[in-house]
Every structure is written in structure tokens, then in C-alpha cells.
Structure 1
Amino acid sequence: MAVRWITGFLDSPGPEVEAFWVAVTGWELSARRDGGTFATLVPGDGDACLRVQVVGDGPARSHLDLHVDEVASAVARAVELGATVTVDRGDPVVLASPAGIVFCVVGWAGERRRPAPGRWAGGWHSVVDQWCLDVPEAVHAREVDFWAALTGWAVRPSDLPEFCHLERPEGMAVRLLVQRTGAAVAGVHVDFACDDVDAEVARHVGCGAVVVRRVPGDWTTLRDPAGREYCVTGRSPHPS
């Protein structure tokens, strides 16, 4: 199977937090769909890769949609590699990875243009460009193998031993980072890339985020108004 595009979903109990994500991304919220459940954050330049969903319960969380040419065969491949189908609506199909990370397989609608970084008043740039798979140590190696085989993306080491990333194809909007954690439960969170971490963090705090922890020179973990953690990182926001 070929993963043509990846969309990240911010799943929240209600829509109140969506204004925060509009502010920090600089993207516009689309008209709502499916009775108000779904909306898309639409970048000014490039194809959408971030959506919001009202799930009606907590905690606030995230999941990924993998866009493919043929859903049924991609689902079969995911199951062959160790995923479990939890909800089958034909398109989408909801699955869980071997470590329990929820993701959906959906049909590809031709997305191909990576969103351009936003430029802020102080002159720095930022963009949502990465999803981090947070995986307990006991199942980390199995999960890395699963995502590498499912996407067909090569695994690349990081400067830090607890991280590795999957090398995205040219034009793909988001990277996948895998983090080995001491937690008991696997999850996923979104990362921003920017060229001034301190300024970008201050901007997010001004929009309503709370700083959780700082790793000077590398990244800062924040919590959005719904309690969902995410990171602002010092990786270049400009496509390479």
C-alpha cells in the first residue's frame, strides 16, 4: 500500500478549544460537517492536514488518518502487520496499532501540497509538521516496525536515543516521530516546527496554552485549553 497523505485529528469533548487551534496555526476553520462533528483547519497555502472532531467525552486526544488509494486492501495490510479493526464503515475504517494507537484508513482525495509555514509579527515562522507516536518501552520496537512496514517509510535515528523518525516522501505534509516513553499507554501528539522557540511558545501562551516542560534549545511541551499536550520544537519550519 502507499500512504498518499496523512491528516491529524484533534479529538475534543466540545468545540470550544477550536478557536485556540485556529489562532496558533493561523489557519481558517471550514464549515462543519456531519451534524457539526467535523471541521478542517484550512491553510492559506497548501492542502489541509489538520482537522478537528467533537467526540463528546474526554480526555482531549488525537489520532491520525492515513489516506490511501484503496481502503480495503490497505486495511488488510494493516491487519496482516498486527493492527486490529475497531470500527468498519467502509471508508473510513478505524484501527488500533499493536501498541493501541488509534488511526483511520481513508480514501485519498488528491492532497499533495505541503502547507507553507506561517510568518508571525516578530518575523519568525512556524507550522504544524509532525506527529509524535508516544510508545511504552516494552512495545516500542514492535511499534516502530509496524509503522515502518505500514507506511513503507525508512526509519532514521535521532540524536537522542529515545527518538527515531520515519522519513516522509517528498511533499508529504507531516513527519512521523516515534518516542520511547515510560508511560503505560501509547498515544499521539502534534508538534510545531519553528525558527524561534521562545517567541513561538510565548505566542501560544498568549492564546491560552500552558507550559508543561522546557528542553532549552530543542522543544517545549505545552497543554492546550482542553488539556491536550503538544510540542513546539526548534526544527526548521521550512521544507527541506
Structure 2
Amino acid sequence: MRVLLVEDSARLSELIVAGLSAAGFAADPAATLAAAEAAAEAVPYDLILLDLGLPDGDGAAFMRRLRRGGCLTPVLMVTARSGLDDKVRGLDAGADDYLVKPFELRELLARCRAVLRRPAACLGPVLSFGDIELDCAARRVAVAGQPVHLPPRETDLLELLLRRGGQVVGKPAIEQALYALASEVTPNALEAVVSRLRRHLAQAGSAAGLHTVRGIGYMLAAAERP
């Protein structure tokens, strides 16, 4: 899952990005609304974490601009403004949830997962294709009912492919979803993740295959009948 963090406190931003990354999210920090707007135009984010008070403007106004422009990306406002009027203003501007600073990182992560499970985000709590099943909240994978341990990056790739089960997902879309903007991605990084995921599924005896569509991307497909 790709997350845009709009937060002007360098220290807090660093801590949140570290927590998100440890939880399996690819997080891009933006310290201003101008940087956030540029990032949102360049990358299809799964979630936006948005402060209200930014150096170059108001987060709620930015939120309204996003919604007027047709942006449906879930937004979790994370701000020190704790008044009821502030909360109502933020939610009415189009935010999906509101979290007051200071907060525990565990609560932030739980709220991120909760927002991403909502129907508006087109994310179900459990995804399946053939004999593969993924609990998105718990990040648990099973093949034919048996648990399979996957590293975070392989789990993220599997989730992306499960959401497009039977369809080809292009390499650029996968790389955008898996890696933050600041990440140093080697030319063969994605191929290595695909290879490891394919090996894990094969070792688990999955009847579904992870297929390479040369020059385009990858897809999950049911095993061909003999």
C-alpha cells in the first residue's frame, strides 16, 4: 500500500514514515501542500495522511480541492487541532477519519488499516484467488487453508495481484505501489520479489500460478487443466 504523509514536522514525519515502513506500507513524506499536490498528481496513492496546519496553507482547503477534482483516495487527518469544530470541519471537507496529536503509533496504524478496509476504498478484509487467501488487516497468507509466511514486500505484491486476480498488472503500477519515492530501486528489484513470491507459492503447493506477461507485467492465473 502506497501512503502520502503530509506533515511539516521533520521529526514526527521521520517517526511516522519509519512506523509505516515497518508495518509494510510504502510511505512518501511531503512537508508542504505544494509538495503534496505534486506527489498526488504523479502517484496513485492508496491513502493520504494529512495535517491541517501546513506552512503554505490549510489542509482542509487542500482536502476540498482534492475532492472537487474527483480524488477518491481515503484521507486520514492527523492534527493537533482537537476542538469539535475542527473535527467537524475536517470530516465535512472530505476526510475519512480524524486523529488528534499526540497519538500512539499503534493507533495510527490501526486507523490506517480500518480506513483501507472500508468499501469506499474498494478494499475487502480478506482477499482470495483460487486456493490463496490473504487477511489484509492481519497480513496473514494461507494456501489451501494452510498458513504461509511471506516477507512484507512479497505480501504487498500478493495483495496487489489478488485485487486484480486473473488480470495483468503492469510493472510501473506494481513499482509505484511497492516502493516509496525516496527508495533506491535497482533494475532487477521487482523481478527478485516476483521470483521469491512465485517460489513461496510453489513450495506451498498452490494451484494458482504467478505468470509473467513479457514486456507488460504479471498476473495470478488458475492452473491449467490437463
- Assess same fold via TM > 0.5: no
Q: Which has the higher strand share?
A: 1
Q: Which has the higher helix share?
A: 2
Q: Which of the two has higher C-alpha Rg?
A: 2
